[in-house]
Structure formats: structure tokens, C-alpha cells
Amino acid sequence: MKKNTDLTRREFIKGAAGIAGATVLASCGLSGDALEAFLQKHFKELSNDEKAEILKRIEDECKAKYGKEVAVVGTPAEEGVLFAYALDISRCIGCRRCVYGCCEENNQSRDPQIHWITVLEMDKSEGVNLEKANSYYEVDKVPQPDKFYFPVACQQCENPPCVKVCPVKATWKEPDGIVVVDYNWCIGCRCCITACPYGARHFNWAEPKIPTDELNPSMHYLGNRPRMKGCVEKCTFCIQRTRGEEKKYPKCVEVCPVGARKFGNLLDPSSEIRYILANKRVFIFKEELNTRPKFFYYYGL
């Protein structure tokens, strides 16, 4: 009996604090959808009904903002799948088709510009030497004879330092190995940006801008739905494509004109990824940091 009263009291206080908080937030100008978004639970704690409601809310927000029908899904990871990626540095020609393909597919801000992929130009005589790498190369034609190219994006680490440092658990590793961010939960402290040794995380310093006709309407909650000012974003192996019904390859794989990019299920012995790991000279970027990337560089030639 006593216990019950206690609970009721606690709940009463919780509720009262909630109302008081909501009043404060409302007085800050937050109301309706924005208020709901603010009070939303962590993505992993949501029930299916709550998820459906939130996805619907985001669809409505997008429609209001861009005047375009969009579909936002929250497809979970498939069992028996661990995604991995391989990039042939002997073949990449540094044309940056992947950079812009990614940008369009994943609704990255055009202004201020955000790119999830950075292509580094390196000297053949230097090998992989980050101190001599240049991502701002401007030449008429690629590849240049004395250079090679080294695209870098999120390495989807098995031991991700960015996840460890997040003070609010707004970023985590999914069962299929994709490291994701709940943009609504992110407080924008940018600890993860400092922790990532690959420069793969990007911050929305200003409200992101995407032209309506370029907005990709097929979206995933943990992936390419439009982000807001003040949150961190990164490559998700095109979660909306790779977890989608058609199990499509990531966009960068499909736009690369030289076929330098490979993707598949690490747990499937017949996947091209496993063939590459078994037969090619594979290289792990900053292996000494023990981040255990699922992104492999290799020499196909």
C-alpha cells in the first residue's frame, strides 16, 4: 500500500516537472511539432507505435519545409548481415563522382557545403602520407601521372571511438555494423568529431540548405533525412538503400566510373567483399589505432 502511494507521488512530481518544463519550452518559442521533437525519447527506447508517429511527424515536417512528399522509414538491421566496404586505391582516379553522388543521395547541405566523402590526392613517391595529402586539388584531368587518390569517409569501426565519447549516447553501432546518429538526440557537443581519427563526422554549423528538386525523398530516420542546425552527421553506408527492400548498393558504389568501390555482407562467404579480403592485398587505414574498420582499402592491380 505504502509503495503504491510512493509511486503515485513520484509520478506526480515527474508529471508536474514535465508540465513546468513544457511551459518553459513553450515560452522559448517551442510548440507543436518542435516541442514534440524536443521531448522525444531516445530512438532505441521507442516502441513501434511511437516510432511510426515520429516518422510520420518528420514526413510532415519535410513536406511543410520542402513542399515535397517524402517517405521516412526506420527499417532495422537484418539478422546475419554485417556490412563491409572495400575500395581499390590502385584504381580510383580521383574524379570525385562519389563525393557528389553521396551528397545528392544523402541530402547533405549544399550551403554551407557538407561532404561525407573526402578524396585525398597523394604523391606516388610518398605513399599514404597524410601530411602530404591534398583534398583541394584542381586539375583538368585525373588521374595525374605522379599521383594516386585516397577517398576517405566513415570507416564504420567495430570499435568506434566516436561512440565511446558521446556523452548522451546519441550515436551507436547498429547490429549490422553501421554507426548511426540520432540527430534529434544529438546535443551538438562535437566530442565525436574530435574523437574520430578519420575526419568522417561533420557538424551543421548553420541551418542546412537543399534545393527542393534535389531533395531525395526516400529517407531513413538514421540516415539521409534532412538534418538540423547543431547536429552531427556522417556516412551510414546509405542505410536507406542498403537496408531497403531492394537491398541496393550504396550510391558511391554505383556512381564510381572505374568500379573502385565494393560493398557487401561480411558474413556471406560468396560476397565480393569476402573474395577481396581472401585474395587481395588489403590495407586498413590507421590500423594502429585499433578502431577495427569495416572499410578496407586494397590493391586490385
Partner 1 sequence: MNNYFKSSFVILSALIFFSCSKSGKSEETIKTNYESNKDSNLIAVASPPFSEFIFPCSRCHKNIEPNHKRRELVWAHDNIKLEHDEKNRWCLDCHDANNRDKLHLADGRLLDFTESYKLCGQCHGPTLRNWLAGEHGKRTGSWKGQKQYLLCVNCHNPHSPRFKPLEPLPRPMKPSELRDTNGIRL
Pick between residue 149 and residue 295 the one whose CB is nearest to ligand SF4: 149
Q: Are 96 and 252 in contact (CB under 8 A)?
A: no
- Contacted by 124, from ligand SF4, partner 1, none: CB < 5 to 8 Å by type: none
Among 207, 286, 290, 299, binds partner 1 (CB under 8 A): 207
Q: Are 283 and 297 in contact (CB under 8 A)?
A: yes
| Minimum CB distance to ligand SF4, residue 97 (Å) | 4
The number of angstroms, rounded, from the C-alpha of 196 to the middle of its chain's C-alpha atoms is 13
Residue 118 within binding range of partner 1, rule CB under 8 A: yes
Residue 143 within binding range of partner 1, rule CB under 8 A: yes
| Minimum CB distance to ligand SF4, residue 103 (Å) | 12
For 212-245, b/e burial (b = at least 16 CB within 10 A) is: eeebbeebbbbbbbbbeebbbbbbbbbbbbbbee
The CA distance from 122 to 89, in Å, is: 11
Residues 254-293, one symbol each (x = binds partner 1 by CB under 8 A, - = not), give: x-xxxx--xxxx----xxx--xx--xx-------------
Residue 99 within binding range of partner 1, rule CB under 8 A: yes
Residue 214: DSSP 8-state: G
H/E run at residue 184? none
The number of angstroms, rounded, from the C-alpha of 20 to the middle of its chain's C-alpha atoms is 35
Residue 216 within binding range of partner 1, rule CB under 8 A: no
What are the residues facing 282 on neighbouring strands?
Answer: 298
Among 57, 96, 115, 248, binds ligand SF4 (CB under 6 A): 96
Q: Are 68 and 217 in contact (CB under 8 A)?
A: yes
Among 54, 95, 163, 181, binds partner 1 (CB under 8 A): 95
Residue 155 within binding range of partner 1, rule CB under 8 A: no
| Minimum CB distance to ligand SF4, residue 36 (Å) | 40
Cell numbers describing residue 172: 551507436
Residue 262 within binding range of ligand SF4, rule CB under 6 A: no
Among 74, 151, 223, 293, binds ligand SF4 (CB under 6 A): 151
Among 41, 97, 173, 190, binds partner 1 (CB under 8 A): 97
The CA distance from 255 to 237, in Å, is: 14
Angle, helices 48-66/32-39, rounded to nearest 10 degrees: 140
The CA distance from 295 to 154, in Å, is: 8
Residues that bind ligand SF4 (CB under 6 A): 92-98, 119, 149, 151, 256, 258, 260-261
